[in-house]
Structure 1
Amino acid sequence: MEKRYAIVARALAEAIAEGRHPVGSVLPNEFELADQFAVSRSTVRAAMRELQASGLVSRKRNAGTRVEARTPDRSGSGFTQALATIEAVQQFGTETERHVQRVADVVTDNQLADELGCRPGRRWLCISSLRMIPGDATRTPICWTDVYLDAAFADEVRARMAGHHEIFGTLIEKISGRRIAEIRQDISAVGVPAQMAEPLKATAGAHALSIRRQYLFASNEMAEVSLSIHPADRYRYSTRLTRQQSKG
């Protein structure tokens, strides 16, 4: 029997394909869709993840679910992100599953310091994880992520990480009582590192995207750095550019 979330996802995909929800439009919110299909909000969220995994929609906190394409992306198991705010980055953690592979205390040598953009000798707690799309029957990871958290928060992070499903930046905010004021992001083309190939179910050296995000407090102090490797066929980064309105 087809699961209820799959029925909802299929109905919405058909509506998008037929133009009832045009590309660029925003879908009804979770409450409205739950009423429309007589299902729970959790079922609607599962359906949204299906649509997002197929490249039909993108989701941003407080901005709704935007239609990105009329037909699914058949290039492979993928994930689309449309990021313009810190809150949108935080949403990533609620839409994917974290599978922790390793937790370790590290001290940056010259090479790692250059990768993170910090000074050599700085202490961090490193949490390495695979990220997966909930409900993906293939269990194909969308990325490998090494998250480096300021060692000052290490003990509390270790104690609370099991029950924390968002990105670690939100946990740092709860522990420190401070807000992440800025995220600096750098994206570059790389090959899948040999040591990550097997857990990623990818070929060593295959095309991939490397994404570094530095999380900073208002004081410009770096609280966290994440280094992610996304096999190229599993990730799409979406942005919207608009023309600045002329004055006068």
Structure 2
Amino acid sequence: MPELPPTPPAARLHRHVGTPLWRQLAADLRERLDGGEFTGGFPGEVELGLQYSVSRHTVREALRQLRADGVISTGRGRRPRLAAPDPVIAQATGIAYSLFSSVEACGLVQTSVVRVLTVRADGVVAPRLGLEESTPLVHLERLRLADCTPLALDRVWLPASIGEPLLDVDFCRTSLYEELARTGIPVTGGQETVRAVIPSRAEHDALGLERPSAVFSLERTGTSSGVPVEWRHTLIRADRFALTSTLEPRPGAAEPASGDHSSSALTPSFD
């Protein structure tokens, strides 16, 4: 039986149904991408309009949806192209790390949208810094971006005595830890707790996530020479961030001698 010719693109859109043409076009383009088409390059707006016999407005709406879904990337004056997967920022635990430095070490550009930078009291946060509830605090809230894509929603509180010199800093392209070090107060240690949470609707939107999505919730008390200087709560996208650890032998467990792979030596013990 002879093989049937493929259905032309224009015939795959149904103009007399309730689904908008741009949505049908986006779905068909995604199906073609999943089938391995466009490996030599993604068509431009004019070419797609001719293929599907639709207006340029319809094509743009379909491409807008594919761009929002992370399938393609577009820009003014550029042809659409397949979007490369976002790299994952792998962060070692057990060190006083800077998210800014970790992002830049991956070859990405870290920028921030400053949402709040002010002085106010917070009766919940102040005791976490070992302060009286009415102590003035500098509060900094930023949406952290990696290559212009939302990565983390970062909220930091510092004692006003430490943070007030930073009120005039432009945090769009600098690290809080770098700015603190310039004032002579480097963050040298602290404690951090990480858990998985479902963020609020507004936090989903800020991070560009579909609902519901889990994120990492990081709560950190940063110290300088053992003195608390910051309390931080960060929500960070779990699809773009990973924590890594180097595992040491547990107390009392001996490493097997070289070449000794007896079953008793390799049987794990869970206490």
Any conservation in 2 of the 1:124–1:150 contact (CA below 8 Å)?
Answer: yes
Indicate conservation of the 8 Å contact 2:103/2:146, yes or no: no
Q: 1:208 aligns with which of 212, 215, 220?
A: 215
User: Paired residues, what number?
Assistant: 166
Query: Which residue in 2 is equivalent to 1:171?
Result: 179
Is 1:98 paired with 2:106? no
1:1-56 per-position Cα deviation (integer Å, ceiling 9, x unaligned): xxxxxxxxxxxxxxxxxxxxxxxxxxxxxxxxxxxxxxxxxxxxxxxxxxxxxxxx
1:106-145 paired onto structure 2 within 5 Å: 106-110=120-124, 112-113=125-126, 119-134=132-147, 139-145=148-154
* Paired letter, 1:170: E
Q: CA deviation at 1:187?
A: 0.5
Report 1 or 2 for greater relative contact order, CA contacts < 8 Å, sequence distance ≥ 6.
1
**One-letter amino acid of the structure 1 residue matched with residue 180 of structure 2:** I
Amino acid at match of 2:242: R
Report the RMSD for the aligned CA atoms in angstroms: 3.3
Is 1:183 matched up with 2:197?
no
Structure 1 residue 203: Cα displacement: 3.9
- Corresponding position: 1:158 with 2:171: no
For structure 2, list consecutive stretches of 5 or more residues without a partner in the other structure: 1-83, 255-271
CA distance in 2, matches of 1:93, 1:157: 22
| Structure richer in helix, relative to its length | 1
Taking structure 2 as the reference length, the TM-score comes to 0.51
1:61-112 Cα distance to aligned partner (Å, 9 max, x none): xxxxxxxxxxxx96x66432124433566733645322222222221134x4
Three-state SS of the structure 2 residue aligned to 1:170 is helix
Identity %: 15
Q: Once the 2 structures are TM-superposed, how far is the Cα of residue 171 of structure 1 from its aligned partner?
A: 1.7
Q: Which runs of 5+ in 1 are unaligned?
A: 1-72
Q: Name which of structure 1's ranges 228-237 and 141-150 shifts more when overlaid on structure 2.
A: 228-237
Distance 2:208 2:178 in 1: 29
CA distance in 2, matches of 1:178, 1:153: 8
Distance 1:239 1:117, change over 3 A: farther
Aligned ranges 1:63-78 → 2 under 5 Å: 78=88
